[in-house]
């Protein structure tokens, strides 16, 4: 499957998910859910070597994984802030439940019991990782990053397991972590706190620096946390490219599909590598 064909399939799935998410009452009170196109493309990777379009049932499989991700992301938007109207917060919770119910409804129509069990496992892993990050009970940065990867990639990783195709798991997981770290860095730059930033500060900064004010720009704690994030970002980026170079089971044309989706410019040596292989 060429990238343009993959993009066509992604459009079909995107439209299908949009149709499932439409609810006129919810639209009045909460933001329309964000549909991550990269995740759709990643979920399509196990089908990339197939001839022709994927089936309606396969569209439904991918769509349920997307709806589940959207449901979990929607629950993260719930706040305890007194500045957010109570009705809006309540509807955000209900929206997450509603999107979860769509996942069950579609899977019930396909009668794919195995996928229900696998995605239920993914939900458990995501929720456990969220709790772990919230509690900040990690021994070091390595343990925290392992938990973050579980939070970001469990749905897609378990979907790959359902498809019996593990070739993509490492590189896709790292790309998803990279994207999250970029978002976390943006939050820190805008002096917004997150559970991950608090957990990262706990394992990477001495208490004196944490107490100096992590969200105060130009404070020592803020600078050190930015530096920690930058090192993590560069490390994950390097891991993505190592996995791409070492991925002997991944055909060159499929590597090119992944490269199209990377959220940063590919290095010159990678361009040369795939030009030679292709």
pLDDT in tens, 106-132: 777 777 888 988 998 998 999 899 899
Burial-class residue 87 by CB neighbours within 10 Å (0-12, 13-18, 19+). exposed
For residue 34, being part of any structural domain is answered with: yes
Q: Is residue 133 a contact partner of residue 203, using CB atoms and an 8 Å limit?
A: no
Percent of the chain with pLDDT over 90: 32
Are residues 152 and 74 both part of a single domain?
no
Give every CB contact of residue 58 below 8 A, 6+ residues apart in sequence: 47
Q: What is the pLDDT of residue 150?
A: 96
Q: Which string of b and e fits 132-156 if b means at least 16 CB within 10 Å?
A: bbeeeebeebeebbebbbbbbbbbb
Residue 158 structural domain: 139-258
Are residues 144 and 79 both part of a single domain?
no
Two tokens at 154? 């469990």
Are residues 107 and 185 both part of a single domain?
no
Are residues 73 and 153 both part of a single domain?
no
Q: What is the pLDDT of residue 258?
A: 72
Q: What is the pLDDT of residue 268?
A: 35
**Predicted model pTM:** 0.81
DSSP 206: -
Are residues 81 and 37 both part of a single domain?
yes
Mean pLDDT on 258-270: 55
Which region holds residue 139: left if phi is over 0, alpha if psi is between -120 and 50, else beta? Answer: alpha
Of 74, 96, 111, which marks where a domain is finished? 111
Q: What is the pLDDT of residue 68?
A: 87
Two tokens at 236? 């994950």
For residue 39, being part of any structural domain is answered with: yes
Asked whether residue 269 carries a pLDDT value surpassing 50, the answer given is no
Domain count, the chain: 2
For residue 123, being part of any structural domain is answered with: no
């Amino acid at each position: 499957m060429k990238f343009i064909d993959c993009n066509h399939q992604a459009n079909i799935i995107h439209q299908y998910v949009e149709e499932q998410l439409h609810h006129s009452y919810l639209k009045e009170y909460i933001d329309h859910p964000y549909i991550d196109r990269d995740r759709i493309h990643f979920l399509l990777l196990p089908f990339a070597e197939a001839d022709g379009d994927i089936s309606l049932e396969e569209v439904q499989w991918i769509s349920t994984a997307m709806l589940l991700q959207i449901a979990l992301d929607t629950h993260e938007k719930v706040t305890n802030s007194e500045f957010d109207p109570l009705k809006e917060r309540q509807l955000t919770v209900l929206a997450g439940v509603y999107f979860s119910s769509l996942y069950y409804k579609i899977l019930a129509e396909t009668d794919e019991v195995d996928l229900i069990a696998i995605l239920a496992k993914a939900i458990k892993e995501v929720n456990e990782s969220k709790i772990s990050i919230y509690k900040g009970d990690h021994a070091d940065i390595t343990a925290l990053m392992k938990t973050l990867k579980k939070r970001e990639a469990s749905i897609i990783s378990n979907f790959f397991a359902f498809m019996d195709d593990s070739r993509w798991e490492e590189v896709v997981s790292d790309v998803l972590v990279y994207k999250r770290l970029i978002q976390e860095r943006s939050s820190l730059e805008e002096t917004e706190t997150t559970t991950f930033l608090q957990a990262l500060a706990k394992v990477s900064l001495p208490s004196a620096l944490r107490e100096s004010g992590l969200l105060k720009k130009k404070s020592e704690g803020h600078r050190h946390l930015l530096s920690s994030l930058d090192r993590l970002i560069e490390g994950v980026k390097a891991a993505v490219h190592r996995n791409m170079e070492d991925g002997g089971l991944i055909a060159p044309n499929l590597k090119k599909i992944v490269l199209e989706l990377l959220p940063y410019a590919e290095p010159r040596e990678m361009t040369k590598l795939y030009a030679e292989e292709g």
